[in-house]
Structure 1
Amino acid sequence: MIPDNARIRANGGRTTRREGKMTAMPAIPASTKTSLAQRLFLHAKQRWPQLADVHVRYRGQFGYVEGELADGERLPLMRLRYGGTAHRWGLAIHTHSTGGYEDAIWFTGSPQEALDLVCDLYVTNTDT
């Protein structure tokens, strides 16, 4: 086993990610869950008439967003990561090829901007 001081010296005096402590991610407050769902629904109603509804389910620090089409079909769209504020969320885009989510590390924006991004990818192309 390498002593901690040797590991730090070998790394140029910097602490590595493994040596750092993991901090608990903030839980999504109930009021933020309610406002997120309402904001996404209202935004979809104004900008995405193809969507009859928007559904959000929560697990830990994540909000999973599905769009519902007029025929009842549900499209998984994105996963939003809560970072402590209701106005800026992390984004992972649902990929239909893998059935999973790909983090969009370049994205910084509101949930409404995230919805516009994924709807540009998936909702406008539902007739093809």
Structure 2
Amino acid sequence: MDGELADGERVKLMRLRYGGSASRWGFALYLASSDKYEDSTLPTGSFADTPEEALDCAFGLYLG
């Protein structure tokens, strides 16, 4: 998933990984320093949750 800045530039944020259920997804945050995605946990300590929770976490880290 990418974010789009006001000037139209797109920045990588994260990837979602299907966890066997439409409501449970794992995610990996994009690390610009290594140009790679790294599996991540949510602030709750869970490795999988809703896509909305993963987005909230990524946006909080990158845009907060």
Give the TM-score band, short-chain normalised. 0.7 to 0.9
Relative contact order, higher structure (CA 8 A, sep 6+): 2
Q: How many residues align?
A: 60
Instruction: After TM superposition, list the pairs within 5 Å mapping 1:28-107 onto structure 2.
Output: 65-105=1-41, 106-107=46-47
**Structure with max Cα Rg:** 1
Q: Please state which structure has a larger fraction of its residues in helix.
A: 1
Task: Report the equivalent of 1:116.
Answer: 56
Q: TM-score, normalised by structure 1?
A: 0.44
CA deviation digits over 1:34-93, x for unaligned, max 9? xxxxxxxxxxxxxxxxxxxxxxxxxxxxxxx00111210111010111122111101111
Q: Please state which structure has a larger fraction of its residues in strand.
A: 2
User: For structure 2, which runs of at least 5 residues remain unmatched after alignment?
Assistant: none
> Where does structure 1 differ by over 2 angstroms across 4 or more consecutive aligned residues?
105-108
Q: TM-score, normalised by structure 2?
A: 0.81
User: For structure 1, which runs of at least 5 residues remain unmatched after alignment?
Assistant: 1-64
**TM superposition shift of 1:107:** 2.6
